[in-house]
Amino acid sequence: MFHLVAPSLLSANFLKLEEEISMVNRSEADWLHLDIMDGVFVPNISFGFPILNFVKRITEKPMDVHLMIVEPNRYIDHFREAGAEIITVHYEACTHLHRTLQAIRQTGAKAGVSLNPHTPVNLLREVVNELDLVLLMSVNPGFGGQHFIEQTYRKIRELKALLNDQHSRAQIEIDGGVTLENARPLVDAGADILVAGNTVFASSDPLLTIHLLKSC
């Protein structure tokens, strides 16, 4: 079964950021995942436009930008200009989700919605045909290196059933606690895209690790 792998830059060594991105360029990875955190929506701050503009200059992979921020609609054009090819917002952060998704698509970027672990997938029923992807958080958002939440498998299957019922072509992306051990079960459950942070960047051989994630 074909699936995508998106290493998460949040887990990279920022003292060697260009080297880390060059490694991803050489790898079998499909996308480069970038988590944007504002310290309000989640209890952490990551990086903003200066880093994205730097990444844009050297990455050869599509920039998969995950906005863990309040009022994401205020910044959609800016993230697109900074190189985002996929822009994912949180259901929990969007008062007017349909409008926000339309705004993303108007920029030419792919539009995604992320759900926190406690948010049920059926809340997306009215917008699934406006989506290019749904990102399921398999840890509580805000920090890398957390343990995978086992109920994610059930949630993937529920989401897959909803997408099929609505004839939606949206892909399912999993973010948080993805390892070489659970990658295959996630794909078997219906995941299309695996985001991997520590599993890749803490590996002694990240190129091999990405290969194993791709070939699982």
The pLDDT tens digits for 66-95 are 999 999 999 999 999 999 999 999 999 999
Where residue 198 falls among pLDDT bands split at 50, 70, 90?
A: very high
Structure tokens at 66: 């995950």
Q: What does the pLDDT read at residue 39? A: 94
Cα 158 from Cα 154, distance rounded (Å): 6
Cα 21 from Cα 27, distance rounded (Å): 10
Tens digits of residue pLDDT in 97-118: 999 999 999 999 999 999 999 9
Tell me which residue range forms the domain holding 90: 4-215
> Domain of 27: which CATH number?
3.20.20.70
Q: What does the pLDDT read at residue 141? A: 76
77: annotated active-site residue: no
User: Active-site residue among 38, 175, 192, 205?
Assistant: 175
Tens digits of residue pLDDT in 130-183: 999 999 999 987 665 568 999 999 999 999 999 999 999 999 999 999 999 999
Domain count, the chain: 1
Cα 70 from Cα 72, distance rounded (Å): 6
User: Active-site residue among 35, 38, 132, 192?
Assistant: 35
Q: What does the pLDDT read at residue 144? A: 59
Query: What is the DSSP code string of the chain?
Result: ---EEEEBGGGS-GGGHHHHHHHHHHSS---EEEEEEBSSSSS-B---HHHHHHHHHH--S-EEEEEESSSGGGTHHHHHHTTEEEEEEEGGG-TTHHHHHHHHHHTT-EEEEEE-TTS-GGGGTTTGGG-SEEEEESS-TT-SSPPPPTTHHHHHHHHHHHHHHTT---EEEEESS--TTTHHHHHHHT--EEEESHHHHTSSSHHHHHHHHHH-
Where residue 1 falls among pLDDT bands split at 50, 70, 90?
A: low
Does the pLDDT at position 48 exceed 90?
yes
175: annotated active-site residue: yes
Q: What does the pLDDT read at residue 175? A: 96
